[in-house]
Amino acid sequence: MKILGLGVPELVVILLVVLLIFGPKNLPKLGSAIGKTFKNLREGMDGKKKDEEKSAAPAETAEEAVEPEAVETVEAAAAEEKKAEA
């Protein structure tokens, strides 16, 4: 069994060195920190993909589908009606 080109004996030596450096009390903290880091990286990458998909998707709400020129025309008509009433 090879992981990243390392066999079982090499992995055991690496784990023993890490245990000696950080000590048994700090290993859970170290593992937790590494796990949270990978989780945040995955969420960040997934979030970026979702943002790209949303920007590529067509407008879904009525406000997004309305053309800006139509909004300006309606606003101008409403302003003219207010002037006519006054």
Model confidence pLDDT, tens digit, residues 61-86: 555 555 666 666 767 777 877 777 76
- What integer pLDDT is reported at residue 13 of this predicted model? 92
- Measured CA to CA, the distance from residue 77 to residue 81 in angstroms comes to 6
- What integer pLDDT is reported at residue 71 of this predicted model? 62
Quick check: helix, strand or coil at residue 3? strand
- What integer pLDDT is reported at residue 60 of this predicted model? 54
∠ CA(65), CA(69), CA(72), 5° rounding?
A: 110
Determine contact, residues 19/26, Cβ cutoff 8 Å: no
Model confidence pLDDT, tens digit, residues 23-59: 888 888 888 998 999 899 888 888 776 666 666 655 5
Integer CA distances (angstroms), 48 to 53, 57, 75, 78, in order: 9, 14, 36, 41
Can you list the alpha helix ranges (DSSP code H) found in the chain? Answer: 8-56, 62-65, 68-85
The mean pLDDT of the chain is 77
